[in-house]
Copies of this chain bind each other. A is one copy, B any other.
Amino acid sequence: MATKDLLNDLKPIQVNTRVDLVESQIREYLDKKGLRAGDTLPTEMELSEALAVSRNVLREGLSRLRMLGLIESKKKRGMTLTSPDILGSFERVLNPQLMDNATLQNLFELRLVLESGLADLLFLRKTEADIKELEAIVKREKPAATDVFRVNSEISFHGKLYEMTGNETLKRFQIMLLPVFDYVIKNENRSIRSNITHADLVEILKSGTKEEFVLAMREHLRPHYEYLKP
């Protein structure tokens, strides 16, 4: 074996910078101490001494935690812990241009899975006003729509479904996934048609059962499922 081949399995060592370590150690510390939102953290001076790092390194680490929404600095009260915005940083990295194809495909599937599983929440929380709004959305759809129009109408309809779950995290999550969905759908062949339209789904939500809706939604999504790789 050539000595060059022997090097194949050696990968560059992943070096954690001081800032990486400050960031992860403070997160571990919060966890171990059982600190909760509203609790006050030690001062910058105390932290930099305890971690034996310079104030600059400490501040860079704290800056990351601030971005994650884990801490905030208040006048007079110093640094306090906050309830993090759990989707905030996810939102920051969800740039389809930068994601590799495997990740895009995974997120696309994740969204299909979510959509297939909405039935119980929808039947638990739907209101008459919701159904009326869905009907209005369907009415605005045109059979001979252009691609752009079609995509927009997909977004209104399915977006409304997520909104009806009354779950803010789900709703925001699906909005964040829209660019991904758009990205993958563009590469799909459109020859497969579903037998279940938006209008059918609304009808079932209005006067059908949860079980009917579950099965109908899966049929509605079939054109996307058919393109998935085994």
Chain B nearest CB, measured from A212 CB (Å): 11
Selected from B59, B84, B90, B214, the residue in CB contact (under 8 A) with A99 is B84
- Chain B contacts of A81 at CB under 8 A? 98
A143 within 8 A of B: no
Q: Which residue of B lies closest to A67 (CB)?
A: B64
Tally of A interface residues using CB under 8 Å:
70
B90-A173 in contact (CB<8A) = no
Q: In the complex the two chains form, is A86's CB within 8 Å of B63's CB?
A: no
A23 smallest CB distance to B (angstroms): 7
Q: Say how many copies of this protein the assembly contains.
A: 2
B-side contacts of A230, CB under 8 Å: 124-125
**Cβ proximity bits A79-108 to B, threshold 8 Å, 1 near / 0 not:** 001111111111011110111101100110
One digit per residue, 1 when the CB lies within 8 angstroms of any chain B CB and 0 when it does not, for chain A 20-41 equals 1001000100110011110000
Choice from B86, B98, B103, B221 contacting A94 with Cβ under 8 Å = B86
Q: Which of A55-79 contact B (CB under 8 A)?
A: 56, 59-60, 63-64, 67-70
Taking a contact as CB atoms under 8 Å apart, the answer to whether B121 and A228 are in contact is yes
Inter-chain CA distance A39–B180, complex, in Å, is 21
In the complex the two chains form, is B169's CB within 8 Å of A31's CB? no
B68 touching A92, Cβ below 8 Å: yes
Interface residues of A in 179-230 (CB under 8 A from B): 210-211, 214-215, 218, 221, 225, 228, 230
Q: Which residues of B contact A99 (CB under 8 A)?
A: 83-84, 86
Which residues of B are found within 8 Å of A107, using beta-carbon distances?
86, 169
Question: How far, in whole Å, are A90 and B124 apart by their CA atoms in the complex?
Answer: 28
Beyond the given pairs A20-B67, A116-B119, 5 more chain A to chain B contacts, judged by CB atoms under 8 angstroms and listed by A's residue number, are: A27-B95, A30-B97, A68-B93, A113-B120, A214-B214
